[in-house]
């Protein structure tokens, strides 16, 4: 499958310029197209302003901003889009006739292989596809505002979209670091299907006199654990958008309840925003009505989305958490309050809206059990089974559920004679961004270390299913792999990365040590000195360094990933998985590590001093000393001892892993472990006491 490499965005307004900016940030050359030079320049000015703010916040350097802007080419006239562009995304006004006119021009201007996409939040993708000359190479995309910042995108295939088109566009979105929901073409798609009526329901509550805008916002924030209520959100995005969207849903779904509330219509006609005062307190009865009405509406519509097979309940929750930045998704909220109670609220709303709830909701409510979520998906093509860790809202962090599900999937695949190769990949921008730190903090505060040990031991068992698999195992680490995620990758036979790959062991900085084989497999892969550089100091490892050290076995262009996986699958398991030395000993990091982190220097480094023969003013040396000084002392010592044990145990990996597990009680029994882990989730720098 040929990946998307060149992109054009038609429309240089806020959405179009935002998509162009994000595309350029992720190293794609992009054409930003509009009908007049002044609109192209306005889009470039908008991008320059946002990137300038990013420089002020130290997200990008001035040099990086120049590179990003150099990838954006302004184009006047849709007819002037380069004919060999891989993907053209239309992002003009939400009007069917305007959009189809753009596509008619693009059909003439673009080559046969160009994929066309419409950034739409409401229009029928099937209808738009039929208006083009290439319905098989057409999809809908729904980027969320602001597209350079919001991580969610809905991919909506038409009924005629080819599987290759869908796969290529999904891959492009993933390369933007987006969380992708592939959904059916139904009005509102996923998020707007439940979110837009939620906004309108707040307006109806206001009309009924149940509460003021401030009171309804306050109750909504508490009920949904969110930062902004419906009226504040409408003021942010614009009431006209809410009115247009809710009227569209009312018409398309034949649900009069969704027709724009009189108060909303009057507000839009007057061209003003909602007035929200500071008086948020209201009577308990009013608060109950507001809370139950808004919750019931979301629960009812979310169940419809799943019943209509628009997407899974996991994706509904994902949409709420990533796209709307809710703390929990609708189905998670139902689990927290109890399915029976959630069904009661949904039924009450369904009566108001005059529609029936899907039967499965009532059946589930009677069981007394919560919704069960699946975070591991499997796709098989020939002998290659791809296992996707699908928890992108948490950057695929390893929790009890994901680890257990992964273990069960690996058992099935290892026993399946039709499978020759297992490929692990992560949904979204990360492969796996470590373990779920909150789990450790909660267990430590509850004095429940046995739960931590059980989770870690189970993690070892799951990784051993990769280690000892009769299949060829590949970690597709084309994004971020931190801590436990890097350890998961190291258990595989091969690790394939691209320029977007980045790795780190952050554990000693947060009061613990890598506990899922990181102290053992790293040494066996790249040698103890390079492992000390990576594990003890917690250095970020870029793609080229990772390849030189052997953390990546293959570093390829994004276009070569699929071919590389096919070649590895054909070659089979490696002759020597653990060479114990860097792939490139002349690489600057490998060479520096071999001398700085030598056995002779370790006692000096662990005492916080600079070894003889090294200049403390040298940039590399000072950086290492600074990094080591910020670690938890006990974690640093234990990690160093475990790295040494990897050398001592040699070929007996099981013995080394057993030592890693046996030290868990010592490290998690320290006050520094709780302090470091707590500081991470609280967003502050830890203060270690060596206790």
Residue 104 appears among annotated catalytic residues = no
Cβ burial of 273 (10 Å; 0-12, 13-18, 19+) is middle
Residue 142 appears among annotated catalytic residues = yes
The tokens of 243 are what? 């009115």
Residue 587 appears among annotated catalytic residues = no
Q: Please, which contacts does 154-157 make with residues 24 or more away whose CB atoms are closer than 8 Å? A: 154/180, 154/181, 154/182, 154/183, 154/189, 154/190, 154/191, 154/319, 155/180, 155/181, 155/182, 155/183, 156/125, 156/182, 156/183, 156/184, 156/185, 156/189, 157/125, 157/182, 157/185
Please tell me the chain's helix, strand, coil percentages from 3-state DSSP, rounded to the nearest 5: 55, 10, 35
Per the rule left: phi > 0, alpha: psi between -120 and 50, beta: everything else, 116 is beta
Q: Helices in 479-607 by DSSP H: which ranges?
A: 484-490, 518-526, 528-535, 543-549, 561-571, 588-596, 602-606
Residue 366 appears among annotated catalytic residues = no
CA distance 453 to 286: 47
Report in angstroms the alpha-carbon separations of 674 from 394, 437, 682.
21, 10, 12
The residues, ordered by sequence, that sit 6+ positions from 350 with a Cβ below 8 Å of its Cβ are: 296, 300, 356, 357
Do the beta carbons of residue 151 and residue 429 sit within 8 Å? yes
CA distance 229 to 195: 12
* Catalytic position from the list 142, 343, 460, 554: 142
CA distance 281 to 215: 6
Eight-class DSSP state of 369: P
The tokens of 478 are what? 């084309």
* Catalytic position from the list 158, 192, 396, 640: 192
Report in angstroms the alpha-carbon separations of 541 from 33, 481, 504, 578.
37, 10, 6, 19
* Catalytic position from the list 26, 90, 94, 154: 154
Which helix H or strand E contains 341, and what residues bound it?
Answer: helix 339-353
Residue appearing with tokens 């809905």 = 154
Q: Count of CB atoms within 10 A of residue 363's CB?
A: 10
CA distance 206 to 212: 6
**Phi and psi angles of residue 26, each rounded to the nearest 5 degrees, phi first:** -95, 25
The tokens of 371 are what? 């919704």
**Phi and psi angles of residue 538, each rounded to the nearest 5 degrees, phi first:** 65, 35
* Catalytic position from the list 118, 121, 593, 663: 121
Do the beta carbons of residue 524 and residue 569 sit within 8 Å? no
Of 368, 372, 407, 362, which Cα lies nearest the Cα of 389?
407
The residues, ordered by sequence, that sit 6+ positions from 668 with a Cβ below 8 Å of its Cβ are: 440, 444, 449, 452, 512
The tokens of 444 are what? 């430590």
Active site residues: 121, 142, 154, 192
């Amino acid at each position: 499958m040929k990946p998307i490499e060149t992109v054009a965005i038609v429309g240089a307004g806020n959405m179009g310029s935002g998509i162009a900016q994000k595309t350029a940030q992720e190293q794609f050359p992009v054409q930003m197209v509009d009908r007049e030079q002044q609109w192209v320049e306005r889009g470039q000015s908008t991008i320059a302003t946002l990137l300038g703010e990013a420089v002020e916040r130290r997200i990008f350097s001035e040099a990086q901003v120049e590179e990003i802007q150099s990838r954006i080419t302004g184009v006047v006239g849709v007819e002037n889009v380069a004919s060999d562009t891989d993907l053209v995304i239309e992002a003009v006004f939400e009007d069917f006739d305007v959009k189809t006119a753009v596509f008619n021009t693009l059909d003439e201007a673009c080559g046969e292989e160009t994929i066309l996409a419409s950034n739409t939040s409401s229009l029928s993708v099937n209808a738009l596809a039929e208006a083009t000359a290439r319905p098989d190479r057409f999809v809908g995309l729904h980027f969320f505002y602001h597209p350079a910042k919001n991580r969610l995108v809905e991919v909506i295939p038409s009924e005629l979209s080819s599987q290759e088109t869908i796969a290529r566009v999904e891959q492009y979105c993933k390369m933007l670091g987006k969380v992708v929901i592939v959904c059916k073409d139904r009005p509102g798609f996923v998020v707007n299907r439940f979110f837009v009526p939620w906004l309108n329901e707040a307006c109806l509550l206001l009309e009924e006199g149940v509460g003021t805008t401030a009171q309804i916002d306050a109750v909504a924030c508490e009920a949904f654990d969110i930062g902004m209520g419906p009226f504040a959100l409408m003021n942010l995005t614009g009431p006209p958008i809410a009115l247009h969207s809710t009227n569209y849903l009312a018409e398309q779904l034949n649900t009069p309840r969704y027709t724009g509330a009189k108060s909303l219509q009057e507000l839009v006609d007057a061209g003003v925003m909602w007035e929200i005062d500071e008086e948020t307190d209201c009577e308990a009865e009013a608060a109950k009505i507001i809370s139950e009405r808004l919750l019931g509406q979301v629960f009812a519509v979310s169940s419809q989305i799943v019943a209509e097979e628009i997407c899974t309940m996991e994706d509904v929750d994902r949409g709420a958490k990533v796209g709307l930045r809710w703390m929990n998704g609708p189905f998670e909220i139902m689990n927290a309050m109890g399915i029976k109670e959630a069904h009661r609220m949904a039924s009450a709303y369904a009566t108001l809206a005059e529609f029936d709830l899907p039967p499965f909701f009532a059946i589930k409510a009677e069981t007394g059990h919560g919704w069960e979520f699946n975070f591991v998906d499997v796709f098989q093509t020939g002998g290659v089974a791809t296992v996707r860790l699908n928890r992108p809202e948490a950057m695929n962090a390893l929790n009890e559920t994901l680890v257990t599900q992964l273990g069960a999937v690996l058992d099935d695949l290892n026993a399946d004679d039709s499978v020759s190769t297992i490929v692990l990949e992560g949904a979204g921008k990360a492969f796996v961004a470590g373990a779920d730190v909150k789990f450790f903090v909660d267990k430590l505060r509850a004095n429940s270390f046995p739960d931590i040990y059980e989770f870690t031991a189970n993690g070892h068992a799951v990784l051993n299913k990769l280690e000892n698999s009769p299949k060829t195992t590949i970690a597709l680490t084309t994004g971020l792999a931190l801590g436990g995620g890097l350890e998961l990758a190291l258990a595989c036979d091969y690790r394939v990365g691209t320029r977007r790959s980045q790795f780190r062991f952050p554990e000693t900085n947060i009061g613990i040590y890598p506990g899922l084989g990181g102290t053992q497999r790293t040494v066996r892969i790249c040698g103890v000195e390079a492992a000390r550089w990576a594990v003890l100091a917690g250095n970020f490892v870029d793609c080229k360094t990772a390849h030189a050290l052997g953390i990546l076995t293959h570093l390829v262009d994004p276009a070569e990933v699929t071919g590389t996986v096919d070649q590895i699958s054909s070659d089979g398991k490696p002759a020597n998985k653990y060479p114990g030395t860097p792939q490139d000993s002349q690489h600057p990091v490998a060479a520096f590590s071999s001398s700085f982190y030598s056995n002779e220097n370790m006692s000096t480094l662990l005492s916080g001093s600079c070894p003889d023969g090294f200049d403390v003013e040298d940039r590399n040396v000072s950086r290492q000393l600074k990094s080591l000084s910020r670690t938890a002392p006990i974690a640093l010592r234990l990690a160093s001892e475990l790295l040494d044990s990897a050398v001592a145990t040699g070929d007996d990996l099981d013995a080394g892993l057993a030592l890693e597990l046996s030290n868990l009680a010592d490290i998690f029994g320290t006050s520094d472990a709780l302090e470091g882990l707590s500081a991470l989730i609280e967003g502050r720098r830890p203060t270690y006491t060596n206790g």
